């Protein structure tokens, strides 16, 4: 992959359907996503503060927002891919659907990419991309998306939405089994593990994802969460437990508190 630090790499838009639309941004893993902002615009080029992109404020969305999915680039591990679930329109911006989107580096003031969904260019008049012309994208077909490489060469290809996250348990975790706690590295498909409501059940599938420290440094969706030994009661857990931010736990206690404390 050429040495460009950030670019809009994919956009999925389908008119008059209820499908999940999205935009993807590819960013060098060594870059701080907090330096990059997506701006959503109306057909007149103004900021669209009613965009349905989760986490946006006033039509602006930090790439580092925890609502954005992030995964390692499949072909180059030096890059991460950020996925933003949001809707677009070729008509006037309405019902949370934006007409145009731009990617800017707010640290340097550079407008990196700007695209208008549909058949005409749009002059942007609001936000960090003010004065930039959003270039028309055209529309994608069924199960295809509009994609760009880092040299801005556009293609229409098979959909590759990638909003994956790290799997539940980090290296070194122990899982309860009928024969006692076992390191996850020693478990395989077919081994029995204890479950909450079904007793001992055989493992059907094991997934593994590997990330470098510089790739998780700026991402709340990738950074493991520590549950210290004894945090949930005497010997619960028995040793420090590291899980992904998406992991869910059932805690039954009169002292349990939901939310931030």
Task: At 22, give phi and psi (nearest 5°).
Answer: -160, 165
Per-residue model confidence (pLDDT) at position 199: 87
* Angstrom distance (rounded) from CA 47 to CA 59: 5
Lowest-pLDDT range of 28-37, 46-55, 234-243, 251-260: 251-260
* Angstrom distance (rounded) from CA 139 to CA 123: 19
The tokens describing 25, both together, are: 């941004």
Neighbours of 162 (CB within 10 A): 19
Per-residue model confidence (pLDDT) at position 162: 52
Compute the half-sphere exposure of residue 20: CA atoms within 13 Å on the CB side of its CA.
8
**E strand map for the chain:** 6-12, 22-28, 36-41, 60-62, 69-72, 79-85, 100-105, 110-116, 122-123, 133-136, 144-148, 154-158, 174-175, 182-183, 192-195, 199-202, 225-227, 241-243
Task: Decide: 47 and 41 in contact? Cβ < 8 Å.
Answer: yes
Cis amide linkage into residue 237, ω under 30° from 0: yes
Strand partners, 173: none
User: Which DSSP letter does residue 243 get?
Assistant: E
Please report, rounded to a whole number, the percentage of residues in the chain having pLDDT higher than 90: 32
The tokens describing 75, both together, are: 């072909």
Express each pLDDT in 84-131 by its tens digit: 988 888 887 778 889 999 999 999 999 999 999 877 899 999 999 999
Task: At 214, give phi and psi (nearest 5°).
Answer: -70, -20
Mean pLDDT score across all residues of the chain: 81
Express each pLDDT in 160-207 by its tens digit: 555 444 567 787 888 889 999 898 888 888 899 988 778 898 887 776
Task: Decide: 190 and 202 in contact? Cβ < 8 Å.
Answer: yes
* Angstrom distance (rounded) from CA 127 to CA 8: 17
What dihedral do alpha carbons 72, 73, 74, 77 form, nearest 10°?
-80
Strand partners, 174: 183
* CA 116 vs CA 19, 79, 126: distances in Å: 19, 25, 14
Does this model's pTM top 0.85? My answer is no
Residues 204-225 have a mean pLDDT of 65
pLDDT-derived band at 17, boundaries 50, 70, 90: low
Residues 53-71 have a mean pLDDT of 91
Report the candidate in 244, 81, 240 with the shortest Cα–Cα distance to residue 167: 244
Per-residue model confidence (pLDDT) at position 137: 84
Per-residue model confidence (pLDDT) at position 24: 92
pLDDT-derived band at 134, boundaries 50, 70, 90: very high
CB proximity list for 129: less than 8 A, separation 6 or greater: 39, 41, 102, 104, 111, 114
The tokens describing 183, both together, are: 């390191």
pLDDT-derived band at 158, boundaries 50, 70, 90: low
Please report, rounded to a whole number, the percentage of residues in the chain having pLDDT higher than 70: 79
The tokens describing 227, both together, are: 């549950």
The tokens describing 131, both together, are: 């004065």
Residues 59-81 have a mean pLDDT of 86
Per-residue model confidence (pLDDT) at position 221: 60
């Amino acid at each position: 992959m050429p040495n460009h630090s950030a670019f809009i790499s994919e956009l999925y838009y389908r008119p008059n359907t209820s499908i999940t639309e999205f935009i993807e941004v590819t960013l060098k893993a060594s870059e701080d996503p907090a330096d990059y902002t997506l701006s959503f615009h109306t057909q007149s080029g103004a900021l669209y503060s009613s965009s349905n992109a989760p986490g946006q404020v006033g039509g602006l969305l930090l790439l580092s927002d925890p609502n954005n999915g992030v995964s390692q680039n499949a072909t180059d591990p030096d890059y991460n891919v950020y996925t933003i679930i949001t809707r677009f329109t070729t008509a006037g911006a309405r019902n949370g659907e934006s007409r145009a989107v731009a990617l800017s580096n707010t640290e340097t003031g550079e407008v990196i990419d700007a695209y208008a969904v549909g058949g005409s260019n749009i002059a942007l008049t609001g936000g960090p991309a003010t004065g930039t012309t959003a270039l028309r994208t055209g529309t994608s077909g069924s199960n295809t998306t509009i994609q760009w490489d880092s040299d801005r060469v556009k293609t229409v290809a098979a959909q590759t939405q990638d909003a994956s996250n790290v799997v539940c348990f980090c290296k070194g975790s122990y899982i309860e089994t009928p024969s006692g706690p076992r390191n996850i590295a020693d478990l395989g498909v077919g081994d029995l593990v204890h479950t909450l409501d079904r007793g001992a059940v055989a493992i059907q599938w094991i997934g593994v994802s590997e990330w470098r420290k510089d790739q998780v440094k700026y991402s709340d969706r990738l950074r493991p969460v520590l549950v210290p030994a004894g945090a949930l009661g005497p010997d619960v857990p028995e040793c420090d437990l590291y899980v992904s931010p998406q992991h869910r736990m059932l805690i039954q206690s009169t002292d349990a508190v939901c939310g931030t404390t």
